[in-house]
Structure 1
Amino acid sequence: MPGAKRLARDHTEEWVLIREWCQWPEQRLYELIRPVVLFGTTTRERADQTQAAEKTVRRTADTFEEDGVLSLFRPSRAQQAEHHRSLPVPMRQLIVDLHAEYAGFTLREIGEICYIQFGRRPSHNTVKEVLADGPAPQRVFRRYPVAAQIAEPAERRLAMVRLHAEGWSITSISRYLDVTRKTVYSTLRRWVEEGVRGLDDKSHINTNRVRKVDLRTRETVRQLQSNPRLGEFRMHGALKLLGIQISPRTCGRIMAEHRTLYGIGKELAEEPRPARDHPFKGSHRHERWCLDIRYIEKHQVPGAKGALYVITIMDAFSRAILASGLFQSQALSCVLIVLYAAIREFGCPQHLITDNGGVFRAKQALTIYETLEIDKKWIEKRQSWENLVEAHFSIMRRIGDFEIERAVTWEGAKLAHERFVQAYNEQPHYAHRKRQDGLVAPADVLGHKPSLRRYTPEQLHRLFYATRFVRFLDRGGYIRFRRWRIYGEEELARRQVAVWVYGTTLTLEYANAPLTQYEAIRQPDKQHFRRIGDPRQFQTPFTSEQGQLWPADEIPRRMAYRLPDYARRKRRKEATSLIPSEIPGFASGVASK
């Protein structure tokens, strides 16, 4: 016995199941109105059961009673009579074919394509109705494969032109052929400008005769390459300060050509370190300052014993150097000189980040932090990367050290460091390359906005009073300080200098530059000094160019000596009267007769 020709189902009135089992749109439309025309169910009840519009149910039922089964087919007799409301059969076929070929079309985009091809723009609701109840699609395959599978470049571009001529949008063409919108735009532009000739491939050689890189630029790059530590990004920043605008990649290509042509050396790059979340990254200006000391052991400064020391304070948000100095000592007084200069110029930060060095943990330094209400933060041991100023020191090693190592005088080394600080703040910084506001230099990111906590010079003097004192140099270059005469610099006579005292160290400073340093032993009262000796005179730019008339070895200078104590004030003697208290022959007030 042969099997059943149709699948047996239980009788149901559930519209969801009936709509799913219907195979033809006409059958589905009849099942929608069958209870109305057969059993007399009201249109409102049927609309509630099927979630269809009541007006649609009523209109379909009325049309069925007038025209019968023919009213279920599209276009209906009424639609054939009203040509302005019905869509032509070719247009209806085009709508379903477009949707079958590319399902990413929007309803309005399909209506736009119909307007271009037939001169009539159906509404998106009409397009939706045609896609639901329209004819079966005749185009079930792609007319064009993706662009990567089209071997000939001209055929690939011609497919874009043809689709656009049919009314396809740029977005639909790019998604259909799997290319970028920029590629479609450039192809259509070449078609408009050149026609068929624009379909073939062209050479990518730059035909623009105006070039940024001329002989002057190449010579400038060659001169700056005398520092082998410069990379392409820092070369780009140095040229930008000179008014030459070329990209870092272009700088890298020119530098590579010069290394091959002139044999210029190149410092080996360090291995990249894995990226880690920074614990002290700043979110706004003057939130966190980073302070650290760097050693420069290779130098040619005569008279400088040992290494030179760079003490720098940097803003963690803008990466700008707020204060920095080159010293011949790393004593606490030198650190406080830099901190005092930064606070005087920009105010106080919220946090100060340093390592665990003894100079940063000194009691006097901690007292100043607490007085200024600065939250002191310490980095973890052996984790120097947590202090952002370490990244700045890496830049300084590539840019600043080259000039400092070539300096043969202390004045030249100080000047080279000042030039580096200015160039660093004005050159583009790699950390700001993705900023949306276009500010790439640390000085521009910092701007002219100081911290909200500012102090006047008088207030700072009171806060640093236990450490910093102010005196005037006499014409011999000495100051008087607690019954001692101490030498600072003869060329700064009549100038005001700062005296920094910490522990057994006494330092004279002028314009953020230490002049002399002494070992000071205090008396038991902790106020006066029992001995001041072991003088150390630093090289400064304030030394006279004429020099001394006699060498210092022949006539040594007394750098510090104690002044004699004040002589005791002599006690006044009582004055004696030269007039006798009584005159002979006179009584008290009455002459004797």
Structure 2
Amino acid sequence: MVSKGHKLSMRRQCALLTLSRSNLYYEPKGESSENLRFMEIIDKQFLETPWYGSRQMARYMQRNDHRCGRHRVRRLMRLMRLVPIYQEPNTSKKHPQHKIWPYLLRNAIIDRPNQVWCADITYIPMRRGFLYLVAIMDWYSRKVLAWRLSNSMDAEFCIEALKEALAKHGTPETFNSDQGSQFTSGAWIDVLTDAKIKISMDGKGAWRDNRMIERLWRSLKYECVYLNAFETGSEMRAGISKWLTYYNAERPHSTHGMLTPGEAYDSKTQPMRIAA
């Protein structure tokens, strides 16, 4: 006969097993408080000047009396997935053995929901650390279909978000992403190919097509993240969830006039042509 105490212990073990890595609070090992402060400064400036490479960003830091040289700036920008817009978009490291898929959307007309989805990852600062956030977005409506926070840059949290989006919203015709290792991993590609979704990846000269999700990051950080200085991952998750609910359901998007992304997802507006 199993004792009451043993049952309680088993329940606690099961709860721990179901706890996703993305639910953990994370303070990066090896990153000093000074580096974390520099990362937040760099991130805020990059939102204003997304063409800054490490050389220009280092000059900015030095002109503003921040003792942060180019080598440190370069390393921190790579850690934060920041790549200037004029470069080939490899905002996370490519895996040398992963296949790179062709870009399919040059001059495409995006005129309906679930025609094209896209994904991106961004750095999210906290008071004593940082997390990474991935979002799955419908390209036409700009609605955020799913998202996940993680303390690491492996593909797992991206795949969780993708599977949630597919379960809740059906299947897009095409999925576009950058060439980061999360989006070229076998597990990510398997989910897309099993669902018979066309795979498109940004190549040189296609960075402009990612601008809508970059605008999402800018709005999220200025309107939510930087205003709150979250202490823990749970606080961060609750704050981002509240803001994304507001973004989808209450915040009209300039692309669709008075419609919110959620409303645009359910209604048809004027076609949009992607610039070459």
Q: Please report the TM-score for the alignment, with normalisation by the length of structure 2.
A: 0.55
Check 1:380–1:280 CA distance in 2 against 1; reply closer, same or farther (3 A cut): farther
Which stretches of structure 1, 4 residues or longer, exceed 6 Å deviation after superposition? Answer: none
**2:184 match: secondary structure:** coil
Alignment partners' CA distance in 2, 1:397 and 1:278? 29
**2:241 match: secondary structure:** helix
- Partner in structure 1 of residue 137 of structure 2: 314
Counterpart among 258, 261, 271 of residue 442 in structure 1: 261
Counterpart among 287, 290, 295 of residue 118 in structure 2: 290
Task: Write out aligned runs for 1:251-266 (5 A).
Answer: none
Deviation at 1:427, TM superposition (A): 0.5
- The alignment status of 1:408 with 2:235, answered yes or no, reads no
**2:192 match: secondary structure:** helix
Structure 2: which 5+ runs fail to align?
1-44, 52-104, 269-276
CA contact (8 A) 1:293 1:311 kept: yes
**1:293 match: secondary structure:** strand
Counterpart among 344, 367, 377 of residue 167 in structure 2: 344
Partner AA of 2:245 in structure 1: Q
1 or 2 for the larger relative contact order (CA 8 Å, sep ≥6)?
2
Task: Write out aligned runs for 1:252-401 (5 A).
Answer: 270=48, 279=107, 282-296=110-124, 298-301=125-128, 307-381=130-204, 383-387=206-210, 388-401=212-225
Deviation at 1:401, TM superposition (A): 2.1
Partner AA of 1:283 in structure 2: D
Deviation at 1:409, TM superposition (A): 2.2
CA contact (8 A) 2:110 2:140 kept: yes
The number of residues matched between the two structures is: 169
Alignment partners' CA distance in 1, 2:150 and 2:50? 32
Alignment partners' CA distance in 1, 2:172 and 2:225? 29
Deviation at 1:444, TM superposition (A): 1.0
Alignment partners' CA distance in 2, 1:278 and 1:402? 35
Moved more, 336-345 or 439-448: 439-448
CA contact (8 A) 2:148 2:158 kept: no
Deviation at 1:371, TM superposition (A): 1.0
Counterpart among 421, 427, 434 of residue 251 in structure 2: 427
**1:284 match: secondary structure:** coil
Alignment partners' CA distance in 1, 2:187 and 2:166? 17
Check 1:395–1:279 CA distance in 2 against 1; reply closer, same or farther (3 A cut): farther
CA contact (8 A) 1:309 1:328 kept: yes
Cα deviation, 1:189-216, whole Å, max 9, x if unaligned, reads: xxxxxxxxxxxxxxxxxxxxxxxxxxxx
Cα deviation, 1:369-406, whole Å, max 9, x if unaligned, reads: 111101000112364322232222222232232245x1
Alignment partners' CA distance in 1, 2:196 and 2:245? 30
Check 1:280–1:342 CA distance in 2 against 1; reply closer, same or farther (3 A cut): farther
Structure 1: which 5+ runs fail to align?
1-266, 434-438, 450-593
**1:349 match: secondary structure:** coil
Alignment partners' CA distance in 2, 1:272 and 1:331? 25
Partner AA of 2:151 in structure 1: Q
**2:164 match: secondary structure:** helix
**2:264 match: secondary structure:** helix
Identical aligned residues as a percent? 23
Partner AA of 1:328 in structure 2: N
Partner AA of 2:133 in structure 1: V
Task: Decide which structure has the larger Cα Rg and report it.
Answer: 1
Check 1:371–1:271 CA distance in 2 against 1; reply closer, same or farther (3 A cut): closer
Deviation at 1:343, TM superposition (A): 0.6
Alignment partners' CA distance in 2, 1:279 and 1:431? 18
Alignment partners' CA distance in 1, 2:192 and 2:233? 32
Partner AA of 1:391 in structure 2: R
- Partner in structure 1 of residue 56 of structure 2: none
- Partner in structure 2 of residue 111 of structure 1: none
